[in-house]
Structure formats: structure tokens, C-alpha cells
């Protein structure tokens, strides 16, 4: 089976009702990035940041995977699929994708404020625990913090992601504006003969001269078209 690697971003979940970050009405218009997605913002007002992610978790209980997520999961019948996502939601997993790498963390997890990547203190929350409070402690006694990679923090999963991209026969970019690194740089690790597809309803600058087959559609329709092009079903 061929290796198919997906790089997904916020647009992947847009049709499920989760806002994208950039562009009109994006999340970063409503909430300043510096406040809710940087270590400095967290140090300044941890409660505000904890509550912001509590809200995101609440929303997770109200949304379901869309046709795009389901279509990607379906590709596992015909390909070795690895999903590399910038999204912190769990919609790929809930659609049935078995191998999902989260570059920017996971909403359903919390960690230590002292060392967010100390695996001993990374904990999966059950839905009953989705509302974290100031004062809730990680195993090392520090405040429980959302397991999210904020701007300015390292992206530990990038090395693993690169390894999969390096052995991709097919690389599919879906719903990302390709503005945020190192995620946006992953394309550069795809071998020269890798087929590259891009699904997005809007034009995206991929910062590369690679030949890309553009499917200018939303995630659901776009993945359907991709499956047809790849001759599945």
C-alpha cells in the first residue's frame, strides 16, 4: 500500500462548525493571540487562558466530524494513512483515523505548567473533567495547563511528522493557510516524486515551486474529489 500523508489545518474542521483562526470572523479576531496562545499570556492571566480552552472543550462536545474527516478515515482502506494535524480537536480520531499526529497539542489533554512535555504529567481528560479550574494540579504539583503548543514554544512532534512526510507517496494539504511554521515547512520534506494535492476553497500560497494539484473546494467536497482522483471505491 502507498503511504498517504495528510497535513490538515483549521479549515478541515470548519464544516463541523469550528472557526478557523485567520480571515474574516476567525478566532484570532475575537481573542488576541498574545493573550490566549502564548506562554506570556498564560503567565499574565492563567484563569482567562484556562477558561478559553474550557470553552473550546465545551464546543468539542457539540460538534461532530464532517465528510472531510470521514473521507480521510475511509482512505485507510486503500492507503497507509498518516494524518498530521495542526488542529487541537479530536475530529480526525472520532471519524476513525487510526494514526493522527497532533503538532499543536490536544484539547482533550492537560499537562504540567512547569514542563508541558513531561509525559508523566500529560493526562487525557474525560468529558466530565473538561472544565479545568485555577487550582487544579498536575502530578508535579504545578497548575494543570492545557496541552497546547503555544506560539514561541517548541513543537516536539515535528520530528516524527518529518519522518512520515519523507516516506510519503502522496501528500495532501487540507484547510491550512500555511502561515505557521514549522508545520508549513513540512512540504519541503516530501520526496521529489511525491504527488501533492491541496484542498482549500481559497487560494493558498504554499511557499514552494512544487507541482501541486489544487482542488479548490471545501473539505467534504474536496476529499470526495480526491478519493475519486486517487481511484478509490
So which residues are the catalytic ones? Answer: 104
Number of DSSP helices (H) and strands (E) in the chain, helices first: 8, 9
Choose between 81 and 215: whose C-beta lies nearer to ligand APR.
215
Residue with cell 479548490: 216
Q: How far apart are CA 4 and CA 119, in angstroms?
A: 28
Of 138 and 149, which CB lies nearer to ligand APR in the complex structure?
149
Residues that bind ligand APR (CB under 6 A): 9-11, 14-15, 20-22, 26, 86, 104, 175-177, 179-180, 200-202, 204, 218-219
Among 46, 89, 91, residue whose Cα is nearest residue 73: 91
Q: How far is the CB of 60 from ligand APR (least distance, A)?
A: 15
For ligand APR, give the closer residue by CB, 46 or 182: 182
The residue with cell 471545501 is 218
Closest residue to ligand APR using C-beta atoms: 11
- Rounded CA gap, 52 and 88, in Å? 13
Measured CA to CA, the distance from residue 159 to residue 189 in angstroms comes to 11
Place of cell 482542488: 215
Q: Nearest-CA neighbor of 57 among 144, 136, 133, 131?
A: 131
**Least distance from ligand APR to the Cβ atom of residue 9, Å:** 3
- Whose CA is closest to 183, among 83, 110, 94? 83
Please, which residue, 26 or 182, has the CB nearer to ligand APR?
26
Nearer to ligand APR, 104 or 164 (CB): 104
- Torsion 199-203-207-208 (CA) sign: positive
Least Cβ distance, residue 139 to ligand APR (angstroms): 26
**Distance of closest approach, residue 128 Cβ to ligand APR, in angstroms:** 27
Q: Shortest distance, CB of residue 71 to ligand APR, whole angstroms?
A: 12
Query: Residues of 143-159 as b/e, b for ≥16 C-beta within 10 angstroms?
Result: bbbbbbbbeeeebebbe
Amino acid at each position: 500500500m502507498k503511504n498517504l500523508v495528510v497535513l490538515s489545518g483549521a479549515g478541515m474542521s470548519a464544516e463541523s462548525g469550528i472557526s478557523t483562526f485567520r480571515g474574516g470572523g476567525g478566532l484570532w479576531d475575537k481573542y488576541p493571540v498574545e493573550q490566549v496562545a502564548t506562554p506570556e499570556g498564560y503567565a499574565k492571566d492563567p484563569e482567562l487562558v484556562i477558561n478559553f480552552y474550557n470553552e473550546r472543550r465545551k464546543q468539542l462536545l457539540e460538534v461532530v466530524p464532517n465528510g472531510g474527516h470521514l473521507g480521510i478515515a475511509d482512505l485507510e482502506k486503500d492507503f497507509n494513512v498518516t494524518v498530521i494535524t495542526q488542529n487541537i480537536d479530536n475530529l480526525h480520531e472520532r471519524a476513525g483515523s487510526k494514526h493522527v499526529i497532533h503538532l499543536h497539542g490536544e484539547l482533550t489533554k492537560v499537562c504540567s505548567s512547569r514542563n508541558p512535555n513531561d509525559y508523566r504529567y500529560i493526562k487525557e481528560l474525560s468529558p466530565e473533567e473538561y472544565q479545568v479550574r485555577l487550582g487544579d494540579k498536575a502530578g508535579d504539583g504545578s497548575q494543570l495547563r492545557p496541552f497546547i503548543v503555544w506560539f514561541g514554544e517548541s513543537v516536539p512532534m515535528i520530528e516524527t511528522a518529518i519522518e512520515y512526510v519523507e516516506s510519503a507517496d502522496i501528500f495532501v494539504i487540507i484547510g491550512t493557510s500555511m502561515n505557521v511554521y514549522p508545520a508549513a515547512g513540512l512540504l519541503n520534506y516530501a520526496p521529489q516524486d511525491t504527488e501533492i494535492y491541496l484542498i482549500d476553497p481559497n487560494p493558498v500560497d504554499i511557499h514552494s515551486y512544487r507541482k501541486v494539484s489544487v482542488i479548490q473546494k471545501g473539505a467534504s467536497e474536496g476529499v470526495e474529489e480526491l478519493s475519486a482522483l486517487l481511484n478509490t471505491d
